[in-house]
Amino acid sequence: MRRMLFTIIEADDDNEPLSRLYDWGMMLVILLSMVPIAVKSTDGIYGIIELVSTVIFAIDYIFRLATADLKMNRGRLSFLLYPFTPMAIFDILAILPTILALSSSLRILKIFRLLRALRVFRVFKVIRYSKSIELILHVFRKQRESLLVVGGLAIGYILVSALVVISVEPDTFHTYFDAVYWAAISLTTVGYGDIYAVSTAGKVITIISSFFGIAIVALPAGIVTAGYLDALSHLQEQDGTAEDTEKQ
């Protein structure tokens, strides 16, 4: 029974109709659960949507916790480790705000109403039901070293250029955070214009930062694109091999 349940709730088998139905159903529930957040209301029909979607998410979480050992292959330890996995945490964040709001015994803890804003984490549940997103996440994991190098280079340049510009224009940039904000905006070539250099030296630094930013922004895009194409090609080769094997 648990094996059958695990097969249904996991999105690994395209040939399992119940699994596909479950995935599409959960995708629909996730999208519907965004409606009360978008309209900023939980009255009437929106309250029903909120309650029903939360119940469905809770049931989904229980199913996944009950089959954690089949997914993680860690025996009974899996039941203790699963709640701390990223997707399980997203599940809890999607459920907890509504439960706290409905519980009269917890109304005294009004500060926890802030957790209702965490309902937006429901959108991350889509990751589990979309193979395209799973593929992109796989690319990020595979290319993490290259992306970390580029990210470290960008952060290093932002911090250093912020030190330089605050030294050149101390009157324009009152705090180091203002300088870091300017450096980040310049590096990404967004250019909001709310904080900007006014001296000649500051403008030269801005020009250099903008040109440097073009390369920094382009590098991650190129790394992810190349990794995605490589992963997609590998996946297509696997599908072709599987089809050839079935024909034989």
* Cβ-count burial 191-213 (b if 16+ within 10 Å, e if not): eeeeebbeeeebeebbeebbebb
- Residues 6+ positions from 229 with CB-CB distance below 8 Å: none
Instruction: Count, in order, helices (H) and strands (E) of the chain.
Output: 11, 0
Structure tokens at 77: 């330890």
Based on the fold, state whether residues 104 and 8 are members of the same structural domain.
Answer: yes
Single pTM value for the model: 0.55
* Cβ-count burial 142-165 (b if 16+ within 10 Å, e if not): ebeebbeebeeebeebbeebbebb
Amino acid identity, position 137: L
Based on the fold, state whether residues 113 and 194 are members of the same structural domain.
Answer: no
In tens digits, the chain (248 residues) has pLDDT values of 778 888 887 755 555 777 778 878 888 888 888 888 778 777 888 888 888 888 888 898 898 888 888 888 888 888 898 889 887 887 887 787 777 665 545 444 444 444 445 555 566 666 666 666 677 777 777 877 888 888 888 888 889 888 988 988 888 888 899 899 988 888 887 777 788 888 888 888 888 888 888 878 788 878 878 777 777 777 667 666 655 555 55
Q: Residue 101 belongs to a domain with what CATH number?
A: 1.20.120
Total tally of structural domains belonging to the chain = 2
Tell me the C-alpha distance between 247 and 70, whole Å. Answer: 31
Based on the fold, state whether residues 182 and 221 are members of the same structural domain.
Answer: yes
Alpha-helical (H) ranges within 40-143 are: 45-66, 68-72, 77-81, 86-102, 126-129, 131-142
